[in-house]
Structure 1
Amino acid sequence: MKSTINIFFLLLGTIAFAQIGKRFPSEKKIIKDPVTGIDLIFLTTKSAGDSKTYPTHPQWTSDGEWLIFRTKRANGEAMAVNEKSGVMVQVTEGGYTGTLCMAQKSMKLYFMRKGEGEKMQIMEVNLEAVFADSEKGKMKPISAYERICGTTNPEMGASGDMALDADEDRVYFRIGKEEAARHLDPNIKIEKSFGPRNMGAGPGGISSMNIKTGEIKHVVSVPFQVGHIQSNIWNPGELVFCWETGGKSPQRTWTVMADGSGLRPLYPESDFEWVTHEVVISKDEVAMAIMGHRKIDIQKEAPVEITTSTEVRNPQNPGQESNWGNSGTREKPTGLAIVNLRTREMIIAGQTKSGSGLWHVHGSSDGRWAVGDDFSRSLYLIDRKTNEMMMLTTGHKETAADHVHPTFNRDGTKIEIQSAMLSEDNRTLNICIVNVPKEWLKRK
């Protein structure tokens, strides 16, 4: 009888732990960077499996007060942290898959969830109601906060790589090879895997769903693997995506309109260029990294062959496998590149003097700042008017479970990163805010 009671209370505790609206106490702590002296505002400090949403998507809710992040502290559910108070609130119940999409015109959160069979549900959460009831300590059933926008058919092979349109009336998501092939000209050559990670083979594609009616429309099919789907949150119906190989692609960046028109390479690259981590930063601009992370063997006049054709990945210094081809060296211009979607002009906003070069990049929507990290997990701020570069913080441990992934807020005054600086196991990440220095914000 005693064991039965214990099991009952154990199950009860698990159910309560998984409930939407559950509150977690503040862990907020401000630490000065040991090298730069800049304040690092850690919103989480425990080792609880925290990580940011990918930099291709907004991180803050529309009111600018909460950041949504992934964590294991609530059985893998999504969490919000109030930037001012540090209080955390669980914002999903029942799990999610793929990207967390924060609306910027309303307090809504969108994501995918696996349904029956191979179906995928597009879910909407009313964050305003969740936060209000959580603060009162009077949560309602999950149905009071959550809505199913629509469900995909199993044969579509839909996945959680998803983006919310600027009009916030539809989402875009990746589809499987069979569904993509149905909409592709049979005369188009299907691309094979590229590089040592055996990724990139096509076909791939994107579909959309009207989140008010559930109507699904095909957007585009291409002969290669699609990844990093993102919308231009300032310009309705405009998408950016990539040819995903896990490294160098023959042509990494692509753009297309929601009706399937205008498909083209965003930045036509050469075989010696290693282009990666593209992100829409304003109505007309996309930032990306042109990597300069590979050494040259002067004797052979070719990249140093670090490995054989068999992939041996180095998580601290990736991309060194010889069979990526002749790319990623500093024989040609490299750095944080910004491409104009309208004029198609590209500029290099900045580059580190040595090391891997800027790797994951972002920029403020007003065109003032750009930001990037490197292989050492250091973070650099760039004044786009003067080209001045400042290291904001460093020492976030090369052994971290993931990379820094900087993302500006909508005002361009602060940057969210994920950091292992406080990690006891040298891997666990925490959510951290770095403000643009006041003296830089005062510049005209």
Structure 2
Amino acid sequence: MNFFLCLFCLLSTSAFAQIGHRFPSERKVVKDPVTGVMLTFLTSQPHGDSKIYPTHPQWTSDGQWVIFRSGIAKGEAMAVNEQTGDIVQVSEGGYTGMLNVSTRAMKLYFMRSTDKSPREGKTGRPRQASPVELIEVDLAAVFADSKAGKMKPAESYQRICGIVPAEVGQAADLALDAADEWIYFRETSQEAAKYLAKNARIEKSFGPRNMGAGPGGIAKMHVKTGEIRHVVSVPFQIGHIQANLWNPGEIIFCWETGGKSPQRTWVVMADGSGLRPLYPEADYEWVTHEAVISKDEVAIAIMGHRSIGGTNNSANKGTAVEGANPGQDPGWGNAGTREKPSGLAIVNLRTREMRIAGQTPSGSGLWHVHGSSDGRWAVGDDFSRSIYLIDRLSGKMSLLSTGHKDTAADHPHPTFSPDGKKIEIQSAMLSADNRTLNICIIPVSN
């Protein structure tokens, strides 16, 4: 009996690793106990779910499915139908780094390591750097065959676009261009150094997390031919590469230090031209979590989360959990206080004008920020995991949803849907352990 039980478990686990595998709906509608807003939880079980980062699309091009990560099929990409709650596995063989959902076609792109050897330690990372494949998934075919119960082998749905040599690129940061022809990725320091001027001043690590040292670079791969081209090199560490999804060939990225940067936000074109700071920041400003929200606009957070002069004032209150407010280390210097303007800011890529849309009166201030592409709404979370909505026409800010637990494994990372009518977050509201996240949709009403 034990033999057959073990065999059943083994076969079940194997089945869960297959692309197109369907899981029962977990969809639940819950009323926010404070604001009264009706929250739709697309997942509600403690698998350990997480949404795609706000710098990237969340919904498939038909608007019906949300792509996410989950422990329900460890290491694989998942999709959930917003209306039916059906959950479908949309990769097989794993992925690494960012998931990229096309806004033009029913396609999904991600990188995958070619190293199939056993992983080492708790990190699960390869023993040494290895080439990575760029994979394209035909989502329309996966969903159709999965619904019909007639799945083909994984290679029928997954296409290898090309291979990035280990010495050239890394798979963590990945962004699909608006035209769906090129995918941008982060170069290795060694590759980036080849394109810097010999007299370039390479930046050292900045801040207490010992990150930010250069050089860094961005390259691109053509999704049809696999051709690789260099885009740009800079003397610092690059992070959060994202494409302007309304303007082909425009890239936004950051100087990644794990906190405050000397100059966080940057813009460059896909041919390497036009490199400049997106928002030129002062030493006292703590700029973070930039997200392109429309053809001409990028939302950024100018933080106001630290005490003025080291005093314990209201700017640092708003959480009951020690350590929930990151960036308090003295090593970051005198930045991120409310002595100067702070809040959710919108930067215009064309005019370079910046306007602050709103700021919480106390607490950490807005942390992860986003906005609707029609220019009507902006949204942000704070360290307490509360969600604030800002009407950009009237300037009114309101608490949209709360109770997502400041003990949660991560912040909500609010992201608007393409039509501007709803916001996706990740929430621990339903979690018995107060940490495990689920995928949640919040409606936005006019």
Q: What's the TM-score, normalizing by structure 1?
A: 0.94
Amino acid paired to 1:275: V
Task: Tell me which residue corresponds to 1:309.
Answer: none
Aligned-partner residue type, residue 210 of structure 1: H
CA distance in 2, matches of 1:102, 1:364: 18
Q: Following TM superposition, by how much is the alpha carbon of 1:8 offset from its aligned partner in structure 2, in angstroms?
A: 4.8
Q: 2:331 & 2:297 partners in 1: Cα distance?
A: 32
- In the TM superposition, what is the alpha-carbon distance from 1:183 to its structure 2 partner? 1.2
SS of the residue corresponding to residue 140 of structure 2 reads helix
Conservation of the 8 A alpha-carbon contact between 1:100 and 1:110:
yes
1:50 and 2:49 aligned: yes
Residue of structure 2 aligned with 1:317, choices 304, 316, 325 = 325
Q: How does 1:212-231 map to 2 (within 5 A)?
A: 212-231=224-243
> CA separation of 1:299/1:161 partners in 2, compared to 1, >3 Å: closer, same or farther?
closer
Aligned residue number for residue 260 of structure 2: 248
Partner of 1:310: none
Q: What are the within-5 Å matches in structure 2 for residues 2-401 of structure 1?
A: 8-116=7-115, 118-297=130-309, 315-401=323-409
- Opposite residue 176 of structure 1, the aligned amino acid is T
Describe the superposition over 1:247-288 as per-residue Cα deviations: whole angstroms up to 9, x where unpaired.
000000000000000000000000000000000000000000
Which residue of structure 1 aligns with residue 122 of structure 2?
none
Out of 403, 420, 426, the position equivalent to 2:434 is: 426
Change (3 A) 1:144 1:322: same
Secondary structure at the counterpart of residue 428 of structure 1: coil
1:391-442 residue CA offsets vs partner (Å, 9 max, x unmatched) = 11111111100001000011101000000001111100000000002xx2xx
- 2:169/2:185 contact within 8 Å kept: no
Distance (Å, rounded) in 2 between the aligned partners of 1:73 and 1:84: 20
Kept in 2: contact 1:118–1:157 (CA 8 A): no
AA aligned to 1:213 is T
Would the alpha carbon gap of residues 4 and 41 (structure 1) be closer, same or farther in structure 2, given more than 3 Å must change?
closer
Instruction: Show structure 2 runs of 5+ residues with no match.
Output: 116-128
- Gaps of at least 5 residues in structure 1 are 305-312
DSSP 3-state at the match of 1:134: helix
Structure-2 separation of matches of 1:139 and 1:248: 48
Secondary structure class of the residue paired with 1:62 = coil
Compared CA separation, residues 176 and 65, structure 1 to 2 (3 A) = same
- The 2-side partners of 1:97 and 1:431 are apart by 20
Report the Cα offset of residue 76 of structure 1: 2.3
Report the Cα offset of residue 154 of structure 1: 1.7
Letter in 2 for 1:367: G
CA contact 1:22–1:90 (8 Å) conserved in 2: yes
Residues of 1 paired with 2:242 and 2:432: CA distance?
Answer: 34
CA apart distance, 1:297: 2.8
Q: CA deviation at 1:315?
A: 4.0
Q: Is the 8 A contact 1:282 1:364 kept in 2?
A: yes
SS at 1:297's partner residue? Answer: helix
Sort the Cα spacing of 1:266 and 1:27 in 2 relative to 1 into closer, same or farther, 3 A.
same
Distance in 1 between the 2:393 and 2:437 partners?
A: 33
Structure 1 residues 45 and 266 mapped into 2: Cα distance closer, same or farther (>3 Å)?
Answer: same
Q: How far apart, CA to CA, are the structure 2 residues paired with 1:251 and 1:398?
A: 29
Partners of 2:310 and 2:4 in 1: how far apart? 72
Aligned-partner Cα distance in 2 for 1:400–1:187: 46
Q: CA deviation at 1:150?
A: 0.2
Q: How many residues align?
A: 428
Matched, 1:408 2:416: yes
Structure-2 separation of matches of 1:84 and 1:279: 27
Report the CA distance between 1:186 and its aligned residue. Answer: 1.8
Q: 1:315-359 CA deviation, whole Å, 9 max, x = no partner? A: 411110011011000000000000000000000011111111111
Give the match for residue 307 of structure 1. none
In 1: Cα distance, 2:195 partner to 2:189 partner: 10
- One-letter amino acid matched to 1:36: T
Q: Deviations over 1:358-385 (max 9, x none)?
A: 1100000000000001111110111101
CA distance in 1, matches of 2:199, 2:322: 39
Deviations 1:72-117 (CA, angstroms, capped at 9, x unpaired): 1012211100000001000000000010000011000000000146
Q: Is the 8 A contact 1:111 1:160 kept in 2?
A: no
- Offset at residue 11 of structure 1 (A): 3.5
- In the TM superposition, residue 185 of structure 1 has moved relative to its aligned partner by 1.1
C-alpha distance in 1 between matches for 2:299 and 2:225:
34
SS at structure 2 position matched to 1:422: coil
Identity, % of aligned pairs? 69
Cα distance in 2 between the residues matched to 1:424 and 1:283: 41
Which residue identity does 1:165 align to in structure 2?
A: D
